[in-house]
Structures are given as C-alpha cells and as structure tokens.
Amino acid sequence: MTQRISMAHGEGGELTHKLIKNVFVRNFNNKEQSRLDAAALPWYQNEIVMTTDSYVVDPLFFPGGNIGKLAVTGTVNDLAVSGAKPIAMTAGFIIEEGFELGDLREIAQSMAMEARLAGVQIIAGDTKVVEKGNADGVFINTTGVGQFHEQRLESEAIKEGDAIIVSGAIGEHGVAIMSAREDLGLMTGLQSDCASLNHLVEEVMNHVEGIRVMRDPTRGGLATTLVELCEDFKFSAELVESTIPVPMEVHGACDILGFDPLYLANEGKIVLVVDAAHEHTILEAIKKHPLGNGAQIIGRVTSCKESSGRLYLKTPIGTTRRLHRLPGMLLPRIC
C-alpha cells in the first residue's frame, strides 16, 4: 500500500480492498460482518441490519438521475442484496458555500421521490456547509436500517454447479457518467440504470428458494464484485463471456476509451449465486419484474475449497483467463 491516499483508493478495486482490509477491518475487528453490504445487529436477535454509504459522484446531475437519487438507491440496494427489507434511512449533507439553492431543492426532491417508490422513510439528517473550494458542490452520506426477510440467504450452502445470474445489462451507469463529463467527448443516449432494487428482491425471495448470496455490482463492476464473492465465500467460478449482457453503446464507449465493460459501475443490477436446482425458477421470477427482464445465467461455481476464491472468464474463442479486482483507477467519483 502506498503511504498516501490516492483517487484509486476510492474506485472499489484492489487498492480499495487493501485499504478496507488493512485499515478499517483490522482496527474495527469486524471481518465477518464485512462480507456483506449490510451488517446484522446482534442486540436485536440478528433480525435488524444496518448499512452506510457516501456519495461524491461527479457530475451531480447525469442522464438517468442525480446524486440524491443515487444516495437513496445505493443504500436501499445495499440492504436489499443483504436479504433485508429496507425500513428507514438518514441523510447527511456536506454543502459547499455558493451552491445553487435550486439545485439542492432538485436533489432533495429526487431523494423524496425515490424513497417513496422504495417504501422507505428518511427520518433524520444533518447539514454542514463548508467554505468555497473545500468541497465540490454537495456530498451526501446515507445510513439505512432494514429487517431480514423471513427467508434467509444460503451463503454457507454454496456448492459446485451453482448458477451465477445477473439481473440485466451491465455498464450503463459507468457510460452515462462518462457521457456527462464533457471533457471526455463521449456522446451517447444511454442513461444510468440507477434504481431501487428492493421490490425486485422481495418479489423473488417471497416466491422462490435457493438464493445463496447477492451483491449489487457498483464500483469495480461485475468482475470485481464476483472476485470479492469468490474470496469472501471460498468458491471459484467461471463466467461465459458470450452470455453476459452488454449493450452496444457500452461496447462502443469501451472500444473508444479502452475500458473493459466487466469493470464498469452499475447502480441498478444484482448478481446472484443460486442453487442449480432452482436456477430456472429464480431466473423467471427475476425476469417478471421490470428491473430484471434482461436477466441471464452467466456462469457457474466450479469448486468450493478453502483454497478456492478465483474467478475465470471463458471467451468466445474458447480460451479462459483469470479475472482480478479492478487493478487501478478506471473512472473516479462514479457514485
């Protein structure tokens, strides 16, 4: 690890992993809790879960959303993919002196609308204003509280042959942010997939069995998220590249900028590891929801040993390569 924090430490890749592992997990002594996006509270019989996240996206307004919508959906989704029903959340704002009041109103209205759609109440908050030049418009921190669904995830039952499902096309949020940054010169009509996924998750969990574990592939993209799942839950897996849904606009943007779509951020997708015996039932249940109608089975668990923890990609020409976490900085301040 370098001796000073760089932008790459915030990109959700290898440097972020080392920062969290070596600084926060080591000092806070919460290795087990850090495997999921939300932590269970033992004081409430492990029925209540909590999560927190901060949002520094640049620009604040982008195709398909803004920082306010993102702050609500991000926290709702962290609770949802942990197997919990979101209940309430808080919102803290750090606002730069001189920020347009009209823009702040629009951000707050977006938060209120998204919270209503998700069925979550924003019940408390905090506001701080800092001198001009000490922030970049507005930063938001949200903390969410939820309750586990009656049916729990089966993460300890992951086994060889389990299917890996993604709920739809990847890379849309990353490309939408890139297109909103005029300095990159990228012109596309693609919008961010930014959306609250709790109703989709609830619909699936209420009607089918066999979901082992879920994550939302945000910073670091699909590849980094699955590498983390492989390492945290001690399994190896192989993805089939031809089955991963990537829109043509995402392919085009990646070709121009030299990016890999597997590492682009998503803000409205879920990746699931599921029991092979229930994979088709789960896939159909996801597809019935509007936010999951592009779902695909994209790979399988290939081994479950203590020494496992590797992710591979089978290419269309028949070769196989190992995927790692995002190695450096792809696109800073993506969420």
330 or 304: which leads in pLDDT: 304
Question: Do residue 124 and residue 228 come from a single domain?
Answer: no
Same domain? 176 vs 269: yes
Cα distances (angstroms) measured from residue 160 to each of 145, 164, 301, 302, 308:
33, 11, 5, 5, 11
Q: Is 328 a domain residue?
A: no
* Residue 330 lies inside a defined structural domain of this protein: no
- Tell me how many domains the chain contains: 2
Same domain, 179 and 55: no
- Indicate whether 236 and 284 sit together in one domain: yes
In the chain, how many H helices and how many E strands? 9, 14
Specify the higher pLDDT residue, 125 or 329. Answer: 125
User: pLDDT of 25-53, one tens digit each?
Assistant: 888 877 777 777 789 988 878 899 999 99
184 and 249 share a domain? yes
pLDDT 10s digits, 202-236? 999 998 999 999 999 999 999 999 999 999 999 99
- Residues 305, 177 share a domain: yes
Q: Are 14 and 116 found together in one domain?
A: yes
CATH number of residue 63's parent domain: 3.30.1330.10
For the chain, percent of residues with pLDDT exceeding 90: 79
Lookup result for tokens 């409430």 = 44
Domain boundary among 148, 175, 201: 148
Q: Which domain holds residue 107?
A: 4-148
The answer to whether residue 335 is domain-embedded is: no
**26 within domain boundaries:** yes
Q: Is the pLDDT of residue 68 over 70?
A: yes
User: What's the residue count for the chain?
Assistant: 335
User: What's the CATH code of the domain at 177?
Assistant: 3.90.650.10
Please state the rounded mean pLDDT for residues 269-276: 98
